[in-house]
Amino acid sequence: MNFIQSLKDSIETSVKLKLFSSRKAATTAHMSNTDFMRFTLSAARNLDNFNPDRLSKDPYPNRPRGNNDLISVRYHRKQIRDEGEVEPVWIAKQKGQYVLLDGAHRLVATYLEGKRTVPAYIVHV
């Protein structure tokens, strides 16, 4: 996955979740009201739009996308082993609550590789 595709996916998710009134408003927030940080995986258990059961030693049963989920998590685990970490995930922060916009497989891979934090772009709503 590359930055542009991840950004597009995050914008689309934020509009679908009605965090923003339009794609234009979502794009503006993503481009001008975003911080980069290390997001702790313990906090990921409380993310809206993310099933915390996936942060277990066996996150694979009943995957909505079946084998594609497995392939993606394996890809990101390899990326962590080769490069030290994954591309940042996208998370919205609204009224003190965090909502995952893009990066569930990267979160799971980071957890399975024993990391405590994942790089994240935090979009302020």
At residue 6, what is the residue type? S
> Which residue shows structure tokens 């390899």?
78
pLDDT digit string, tens, across residues 72-121: 888 999 999 999 999 999 999 999 999 999 999 999 999 999 999 999 99
**Chosen CATH of 3-124 out of 3.30.540.10, 3.40.50.720, 2.40.180.10, 3.90.1530.10:** 3.90.1530.10
CA dihedral 100, 101, 107, 108 (to 10 degrees): 90
- Give the domain ranges of the chain: 3-124
Coil, strand or helix at 38: strand
Q: Is the pTM of this model over 0.75?
A: yes
Average pLDDT of 44-55?
88
